[in-house]
Copies of this chain bind each other. A is one copy, B any other.
């Protein structure tokens, strides 16, 4: 049996991913990170799902690294940019080297748990803005992970070639309930409906002719 650690943010992509791992019959553990993101509300969504599904779940507090990683609207006192997910302004949401940091910890957890693989939810919509979500990143992260410990851990991003709309489509086939996910970068009571992350989510629902079960402050 393949034992998989899923890096689970609480958003749509990683929610679909963890369900894919479960439905494929793998032994699944989840890991989430509090890195000081304004939308740490997403972690509650991850926690709730893991509790209901009886998935072993670690939420790791690495807020101490906030001092090191400056300049992101996701963690610093900088307004979250509004607009399209691929707009240049979305570069403000980059947290320096975030995915390498999170995945390296997930790999350590995998070694410690005798797991075989680490999965994370990068998708094709991420490629424009986030270098650490591109196929080249996954390939090199995997190459590194296979030789860094005595136990080789594979790093996989099964949705790397899919758009958010295609991921949603897969999730609907899997009967998933997207009210159990959080996407908005603002992390307020309702989703803002204006940030790049909300816009990409809303577009995915429109393209699938579905209504998003979440409530929004501004619905487009």
Q: Which residues on A are within 8 Å of B, measured CB to CB?
A: 31, 58, 60-62, 64-65, 67-71, 91, 94-101, 104-105, 107-109, 111-112, 131-132, 134, 136-137, 140-141, 143-145, 147-150
How many whole Å from A4's CB to the nearest CB in chain B?
Answer: 15
Whether the pair B108, A97 counts as a contact (CB closer than 8 A) is yes
Is the CB–CB distance between B62 and A68 below 8 Å? no
Are A68 and B140 neighbours in the complex by a CB distance under 8 Å?
Answer: no
Q: How far is the CA of A94 from the CA of B108 in the complex (A)?
A: 11
- Find A149's partner among B64, B97, B108 (CB 8 Å cutoff): B97
Say whether A105 contacts B149, CB under 8 Å.
Answer: no
| Chain B proximity of A64: nearest CB distance (Å) | 5
B62:A64 contact, CB within 8 angstroms: yes
Say which residue of B68, B99, B148 sits within 8 Å of A60 (CB atoms).
B68
Give the docked Cα–Cα distance between A151 and B145 (Å).
22
Given A101-B104, A104-B101, A68:B109 Cβ within 8 A: yes
Tell me which residues across on chain B come within 8 A of A131, comparing CB atoms.
147-150
Once the chains are docked, how many angstroms separate the CA of A131 from the CA of B150? 7
Verify B141–A144 contact, CB threshold 8 A. yes
- A65 & B108 in contact (Cβ 8 Å cutoff): yes
> Whose C-beta in chain B lies nearest to the C-beta of A71?
B112
For the complex, give the distance between the alpha carbons of A150 and B134 in Å: 12
Assuming the contacts A143-B140, A148-B97, A148-B100, asked whether A68 and B132 have C-beta atoms less than 8 A apart, the reply is: no
Contacts of A65 in B (CB 8 A): 60, 62, 105, 108
Contact in complex: B101, A108 (CB < 8 Å): yes
* B70–A112 CB distance below 8 A: yes
Are A100 and B107 in touch, CB under 8 angstroms?
yes
Distance, CA A78 to CA B143, complexed state (A)? 31
- How far is A107 from B102 in the complex, measured between Cα atoms in Å? 13
User: In the complex, what residues of B have CB within 8 A of residue A109's CB?
Assistant: 68-69, 96
4 other contacts beyond A91-B150, A96-B112, with CB at 8 A cut-off? A64-B64, A101-B104, A131-B150, A132-B149
